[in-house]
Structure 1
């Protein structure tokens, strides 16, 4: 079942790029979130998207929001990707695709690729914006605009 605007995000746990346990319950209720699902580390579109979030990360932080990237890559892959491109935000390994399924992220490219979807939630974990597009660079301005609306 696909999550919709107005739904509360499900609780989820995963390992971050450092192998540390991440629990969404520790952050929901604290700040707005930008949670973006992407197909794969070190691919052209995903690298563009991650680097764009990196370049705008301070803008999100200044607005009190946290950015979380999620793909089914391993912790080791995330660590390498994160170090190579100096990514300052959280990357989570959804190796068993449980988080992707819990959000109902659709597949892209006729079911060949894991989908690229960005969710923006308020600090209580209620979804305020969903952007589903394989156009990687389009996600960052959409997410930033949604966060600005939330905090104004």
Structure 2
């Protein structure tokens, strides 16, 4: 089924691009998050999306928001991707698709590709935006818009 706007994000564990355990409870409920799921490292749309978030990362940090990218790529692939494009935020490896199931990220392109979906989560751990589009360039715009709205409430 997956998570929807208004749902609280449950706790989860994952491996980061630095091979460390990511404990969601260290972030969720403590600070706002932008969590974006994307299909695959080193593909044109995914490079564009990651670099868009990189180029706006300081804006998110200044608002107290952490950005997290998630795909089914391995930790090693995330490490190379992050280093090649100087991506400053956290990447989580979801090789078995467990996080996609928890969040309810649907497959894209007629079920042939893992989906591209962005979530904005408030300080209390509640999903405030669930945006699904194969168009990589729209995700940053939607995330910034919702994050600014949240900060002005």
Q: TM-score, normalised by structure 2?
A: 0.98
Q: How far is 1:148 from its partner?
A: 0.6
Distance between the aligned counterparts of 1:83 and 1:62, measured in 2?
A: 23
1:40-59 Cα distance to aligned partner (Å, 9 max, x none)? 00000000000000000001
Query: Alignment partner of 1:113: what SS?
Result: coil
Gaps of 5+ in 2: none
SS in 1 for 2:56: helix
Deviations 1:93-139 (A, max 9, x none): 00111011111110001100000000001011100011100000110
Runs of 4 or more, structure 1, over 2 Å off, are none
> How many residue pairs align between the two structures?
152
Q: What are the equivalent positions in structure 2 for 1:3-152 lying under 5 Å apart?
A: 3-152=3-152
Contact 2:30 2:123 in 1 (8 A): yes
| Deviation (angstroms), 1:10 | 2.0
Offset of residue 2 of structure 1: 2.6
CA contact (8 A) 1:10 1:103 kept: no
Q: Deviations over 1:50-82 (max 9, x none)?
A: 000000000111111000000000000000000
Q: Give the CA RMSD over aligned residues.
A: 0.6
Give the secondary-structure state (helix, strand or coil) at the position aligned to 2:53.
helix
